[in-house]
A and B are shown apart, each in its own frame.
Chain A
Amino acid sequence: MAKYSMHILVCGGTGCRASESAAITKNFKKQIEENNLSNTVQVIETGCFGFCEKGPIVKIMPDNTFYVHVKPEDTKEIIAEHIIKGRKVPRLLYVDPSKKETIEDSKHMGFYRKQLRIALRNCGFIDPENIQEYIGREGYESLARCLTEMTPQDVIKIVKDSGLRGRGGAGFPTGLKWEFTSKYQADQKYVVCNADEGDPGAFMDRSILEGDPHSIIEAMAICGYSIGATKGLIYIRAEYPLAIKRLQIAIAQAREYGLLGKEILGTKFDFDIELKYGAGAFVCGEETALIHSMEGGRGEPTVKPPFPAESGYLGKPTNVNNVETFANIPVIIQKGGAWFRSIGTEKSPGTKVFALAGKINNVGLIEVPMGITLREVIYEIGGGIKDGKKFKAVQTGGPSGGCLAEKHLDTPIEFDTLVAAGSMMGSGGMIVLDEDDCMVSVAKFYLEFTVEESCGKCAPCRVGNKRMHETLGKICRGHGTMEDLELLQNMGRVIKDTALCGLGQTSPNPVLSSLDNFWDEYVEHVNEKKCRAGSCKELMQYFINPENCTGCTACARVCPVGAITGERKQPHTINPDLCIKCGACIEKCKFNAIFIQ
């Protein structure tokens, strides 16, 4: 039986594969056999190291040596020198560009990594159902320090100094919000955690609640102490049963340990948390609608002011923050505002969690410092576009955000730059689109979502979005005119200016930003009745190439509307007036004879 003492790890991520990592693996395997090392050295291909610009990457274990830009012809030298003689190959080691030092050990290479986990620090690390694991990771120490060593004003000052901005979307400074709420006098104040995550494709809040529920409980108690509240409420959608279950367990454990309840940690501070379930309406992410829903009313927004800080839940001063915002708080208290400010950018300090989805190789949850570019996120962390297709756009901010194009790839990601580019941070959904996605249809998809989710209270949102949606449908069906494009732009601007709440004010964004960035595609739909992505069914026509068609009749038999006719063993034809473009014939054809144009 083989007992391996050394392992050669070759990166098998898409980027490294494109630069011949497969050949490297093959060479290593072959040469290891030639050197009779098969019983002691094992070669293995891994997932992406997230360092694609320096690829292909080869890592040697157990000494953690990290080789970059390895070529297939380098394998001989690595085996002869490193594996056999134990001498590293200096020319392949990574040189730290800032210090001009060679880095040998990947353990000291944390800085090369594009991701930094603050909000996700315990996610995937501790057992979320065991409070002891959280305490073992310095959990509740920030709360204890706040209660025993700091005044509420001190706590607010740290949060203000950190420059933390609300991670729910709009990016309002968290410290300021706490300060406002702290200034209003009342017999009862509330801390609310907004866990009504509703953007399509976003699941960062769910993952934090499922993976590290105690961090939210601790942060809410800290907030309660600083603003003078003794009650916390978590508004969570009933569609998140696992998050709810883990929160219930965590709250019960915290009570048992005296970290929630009366006289926490032997001080005079009381704080407890209750869960409120929502039915999963997008508008309930808006804080006034959320509060109405918690009170048992309809989830409809009301005009601000008064802000919840003055009159919120049951008319009392209420501080509402998003899950990810809270997840940052214990670390900020632990390490200080200046530390947090040193990460990210001046105007948007810290990190942001994104849910990468769509046509990207490494779909998943990532946390990156603010200021990173879309290119780094998509190509280095995300591993590039699926199936080697061409990047077209990235949708950020969900239905309130917009579509950014190739020209924005080098834009740093922060609250203000994304808004300037016509999109927004939103809660952190990031959906990558490739050449097969039609921008008009994508805009229509998001608008459909807003039309469904609009509460119907104000006319601009209820009626305006509906009309915009109809106009987009008309364009997709090939009946659009240039006047329609102008109408979309005007109507979008009016809705933005006049809608009551955040949902309506941002709902035209996907349309407006795609009109800005993909104007040509809209014009093509209107003037040429053409959809370059081939996704608008009614603009497409199915044809049979007579040269490939063998007349096997398979397509004619599967066509549900009898649109395909022809003699046996003779090329068939499709009647465009009958064809419903279902695609059944293409699936059936074995000769690649049917095509779409």
Chain B
Amino acid sequence: MAKVKSLADLRKMKEDLQAKVHLREKGDNYESLVQVKVGMGTSGIASGAKETFNFFIEELEKRSIEAVVTQTGDMGYSFAEPTVEVTLPGKDPIVFGGVNTKKADQIIESYIKNGELVEGILPENYDTIDNK
């Protein structure tokens, strides 16, 4: 990895990275790519987020669903760990709470395959700095 040499460098890198995310969302794979983010702070992991994370990776592959599964930090919903955010192409992200492997299976079968929601949705209840 070449070092970042200047502010201009950094900005270019940011734009490239954002474009990549953009491409990921709107590009060739538009129809097929699903994004799954698993909240893996200490609270999440203590409630089984690692099993959930591995389950998504293994099962999505087994069931031939093209998806990007990543880890992220604590989403703040300690009362509903493990928490998982699923973004279907062209749709708003949805956060599900209490996602053990059984629930993860339901999410794959119902929501990811058919767009059918499953219980345990946690509505986004905060505002972000992008709007302020």
Q: Show the binding face of A for B, using Cβ within 8 Å.
A: 1-4, 7, 9, 11, 42, 44-51, 59, 61-62, 64, 110-111, 113-118, 120-130, 132-133, 135-136, 138-141, 144-145, 147-149, 203, 206-208, 210-212, 240, 242-243, 256-259, 265-266, 331, 335, 339, 343, 361-367, 381
Establish whether residues B14 and A135, one from each chain, have CB atoms under 8 Å apart when the complex forms: yes
Please name all residues of chain B whose beta carbon is closer than 8 Å to the beta carbon of A1 when the two chains form the complex: 114
Please name all residues of chain B whose beta carbon is closer than 8 Å to the beta carbon of A210 when the two chains form the complex: 40-42, 73-74
CA distance A203 to B78 in the complex (A): 11
Please name all residues of chain B whose beta carbon is closer than 8 Å to the beta carbon of A148 when the two chains form the complex: 6-7
Q: Show the binding face of B for A, using Cβ within 8 Å.
A: 1, 3-7, 9-11, 13-14, 17-18, 20-21, 37, 39-43, 45, 70-80, 83, 85, 91-92, 97, 114-123, 125-129, 131-132
Establish whether residues B10 and A117, one from each chain, have CB atoms under 8 Å apart when the complex forms: no
CA distance A366 to B80 in the complex (A): 14
Establish whether residues A127 and B70, one from each chain, have CB atoms under 8 Å apart when the complex forms: yes
Contact A125/B115 with A210-B41, A335-B129, A363-B79 known, Cβ cut-off 8 Å: no
A sample of 7 cross-chain residue pairs with beta-carbon separation below 8 angstroms, ordered by A number, consists of A62-B91, A113-B125, A117-B127, A117-B129, A123-B72, A127-B71, A211-B41
CA distance A133 to B1 in the complex (A): 15
Contact A211/B72 with A110-B128, A256-B1, A365-B78 known, Cβ cut-off 8 Å: yes
Please name all residues of chain A whose beta carbon is closer than 8 Å to the beta carbon of B17 when the two chains form the complex: 132-133, 135-136
Contact A47/B115 with A135-B17, A207-B73, A365-B74 known, Cβ cut-off 8 Å: no
Establish whether residues B125 and A266, one from each chain, have CB atoms under 8 Å apart when the complex forms: no
Going nearest first, the 4 A-B pairs with the smallest beta carbon separation are A211-B73, A258-B3, A50-B125, A124-B75
Please name all residues of chain A whose beta carbon is closer than 8 Å to the beta carbon of B121 when the two chains form the complex: 9, 44, 46-47
Contact A124/B126 with A363-B78, A363-B79 known, Cβ cut-off 8 Å: no
Establish whether residues B128 and A266, one from each chain, have CB atoms under 8 Å apart when the complex forms: no
Question: Which of B7, B10, B85, B127 contacts A113 (CB under 8 A)?
Answer: B127
CA distance A139 to B10 in the complex (A): 9
Please name all residues of chain A whose beta carbon is closer than 8 Å to the beta carbon of B77 when the two chains form the complex: 47, 362, 364
Establish whether residues A145 and B114, one from each chain, have CB atoms under 8 Å apart when the complex forms: no
19 further A-B pairs in the complex, CB-CB below 8 A; given A4-B114, A111-B127, A210-B74: A42-B116, A45-B119, A46-B121, A50-B123, A115-B125, A117-B129, A123-B72, A124-B73, A127-B70, A129-B71, A135-B10, A141-B10, A144-B7, A149-B7, A206-B42, A211-B41, A242-B45, A335-B132, A364-B77
Establish whether residues A331 and B114, one from each chain, have CB atoms under 8 Å apart when the complex forms: no
Question: Which of A61, A129, A144, A331 contacts B10 (CB under 8 A)?
Answer: A144
Contact A258/B5 with A122-B73, A132-B17 known, Cβ cut-off 8 Å: yes
Please report the number of residue pairs spanning A and B whose Cβ atoms sit closer than 8 angstroms.
Answer: 192
Interface centre among B3, B41, B73, B75 (most CB of A within 10 A): B73
CA distance A180 to B6 in the complex (A): 30
Please name all residues of chain A whose beta carbon is closer than 8 Å to the beta carbon of B114 when the two chains form the complex: 1-4
Establish whether residues A145 and B7, one from each chain, have CB atoms under 8 Å apart when the complex forms: yes
Please name all residues of chain A whose beta carbon is closer than 8 Å to the beta carbon of B115 when the two chains form the complex: 3-4
Please name all residues of chain B whose beta carbon is closer than 8 Å to the beta carbon of A138 when the two chains form the complex: 14
Establish whether residues A203 and B42, one from each chain, have CB atoms under 8 Å apart when the complex forms: yes
Please name all residues of chain B whose beta carbon is closer than 8 Å to the beta carbon of A257 when the two chains form the complex: 1, 3-4
Residue of A whose beta carbon sits closest to that of B121: A46
Taking the nearest CB of chain B, how far is it from the CB of A372, in angstroms? Answer: 12
Taking the nearest CB of chain B, how far is it from the CB of A369, in angstroms? Answer: 9
Residue of B whose beta carbon sits closest to that of A353: B76
Question: Which of B7, B21, B83 contacts A265 (CB under 8 A)?
Answer: B7
Interface centre among B85, B114, B122, B129 (most CB of A within 10 A): B129
Taking the nearest CB of chain A, how far is it from the CB of B82, in angstroms? Answer: 12
Please name all residues of chain B whose beta carbon is closer than 8 Å to the beta carbon of A117 when the two chains form the complex: 126-129
CA distance A367 to B132 in the complex (A): 15
Taking the nearest CB of chain A, how far is it from the CB of B63, in angstroms? Answer: 15
CA distance A117 to B126 in the complex (A): 7
CA distance A366 to B76 in the complex (A): 6
Please name all residues of chain A whose beta carbon is closer than 8 Å to the beta carbon of B85 when the two chains form the complex: 124
Interface centre among A4, A42, A133, A364 (most CB of B within 10 A): A364
CA distance A223 to B72 in the complex (A): 26
Establish whether residues A136 and B21, one from each chain, have CB atoms under 8 Å apart when the complex forms: yes
Question: Which of B4, B116, B127 contacts A259 (CB under 8 A)?
Answer: B4
CA distance A513 to B58 in the complex (A): 54
Please name all residues of chain B whose beta carbon is closer than 8 Å to the beta carbon of A59 when the two chains form the complex: 123
CA distance A364 to B40 in the complex (A): 14
Residue of A whose beta carbon sits closest to that of B16: A136
CA distance A206 to B118 in the complex (A): 31
Please name all residues of chain A whose beta carbon is closer than 8 Å to the beta carbon of B97 when the two chains form the complex: 47
Question: Which of A2, A121, A242 contacts B129 (CB under 8 A)?
Answer: A121
CA distance A129 to B80 in the complex (A): 23
Please name all residues of chain B whose beta carbon is closer than 8 Å to the beta carbon of A4 when the two chains form the complex: 114-117
CA distance A243 to B40 in the complex (A): 11
Residue of B whose beta carbon sits closest to that of A211: B73
